[in-house]
Structure 1
């Protein structure tokens, strides 16, 4: 039986996982478009419907990331892993319990917010809720980074960049979708643009969720030795750990 050469680079599973995500996104999108054309929508399979199958897949990813980061903390006591675990639990709670949607609407009604910049009053309320959640998350991450070593802070960069991308997809694209939908009301391009926005927001979140799980697995050391995509040497093992 063939054996891997010393120092050989092991294939990374991230490519296969992302490919599976793309297949799933394509299938969900096809069902979404079929539902629009036939009028028979399976809501539980829609990409942009709360508590649908794609949403539950995302919930599982956020929970997995949080648990893996807690395990990473057990390995090297890096406070940044706890801070990031808290961050992904906040994301999970917001998605699962629709915190920014419910509280954003409540704020818009309580404070009698007005529409602005092409956004509805409830969109402004959602931005305010996101800002409040963001302050909690930023404070947690800042404290975690401050109490971590330079090596741990460097190791956390990929996950931090993934979080930034999630904010762009989950907040930025969401608000852009709302503004564009209002501007294109009654226009024939409204539906094609809506599908594009669903892909950019919900599709990107699924892909970024998978990336976050993989990065958390690396930090937790669940990589069959020295890690995928890293030279299988004692030196590489020491660097990963």
Structure 2
């Protein structure tokens, strides 16, 4: 076992992370229940608090989308702080850039805008039951992620073994996010004409809920390392202060 891995295991996960995990999980659950109530309200033409359009998780700038984007931006800020605190951790800054791009894309509807431009400019194909709009969105996502992905490859090679290990963990969490955001979305598009509304609603809620949970896990993973690093820094500062105090005390005793 190398030194960086021993150092990482020596830093226990602060109890604060469990408070954050419970709090964020409850918020996720509340928004998903609101989404379910909104679907039911629309289905049965019910008016009320949950008929408000922002409860629909698939709508742009819905409550779910805003929370997810906020979590990605928060994770990006923490990663930038970790980049400054640690040596050979430049890969964290590349992940921060990717998360900011993902958040801005969601809130500013960049992939929808890009899709409209590509659809009106080029003759886009429509394979496997997809629409030209869907192909345009996929191409826009690929274009938006190109620069962050190149930076990830470059900075990954220049980072420490611990940072690379955390980078692989982040990659796994992002793959889970992509599986829900893109994979289930494509499944919904291909089967929507042949399924009853209850199954389509279930697919939509699984997609939105899966995305939100994945973004919550990303934030919790980054936050756990941030809190662990902060606790380790505080412990090192306290140890250094104690050693300095012992040195001064010893010097005073010698002078007497």
Q: How does 1:9-24 map to 2 (within 5 A)?
A: 10=15, 12-13=18-19, 14-24=21-31
Query: 1 CA distance for matches of 2:106 and 2:176?
Result: 16
The match for 1:57 is: 67
From 97, 102, 107, give the equivalent of 1:86.
97
Larger radius of gyration: 2
From 25, 43, 47, give the equivalent of 1:36.
43
Q: Could you say which structure has the greater relative contact order, defined with CA pairs below 8 angstroms and 6 or more residues apart?
A: 1
The match for 2:138 is: 127
The match for 2:127 is: 116
The match for 1:103 is: 114
Distance 1:223 1:153, change over 3 A: closer
Distance 1:8 1:223, change over 3 A: closer
From 65, 79, 82, give the equivalent of 1:72.
82
Query: 2 CA distance for matches of 1:8 and 1:178?
Result: 41
Query: 1 CA distance for matches of 2:27 and 2:155?
Result: 33
1:57-77 deviations in Å (ceiling 9; x for gaps):
122111111111111112214
- C-alpha RMSD of matched pairs (Å): 2.5
Q: How many pairs are equivalent?
A: 217
1:16 positional shift = 4.9
Structure number with the higher helix fraction is 2
Query: Runs of at least 4 residues of structure 1 off by over 4 A?
Result: 7-11
From 195, 215, 219, give the equivalent of 1:213.
219
Q: Secondary structure at the match of 1:30?
A: helix
Could you list the runs of 5+ residues in structure 2 that have no partner in the other structure? 1-11, 237-256
TM-score normalised to the size of structure 1? 0.81
Distance 1:9 1:221, change over 3 A: closer
Query: 2 CA distance for matches of 1:223 and 1:214?
Result: 14
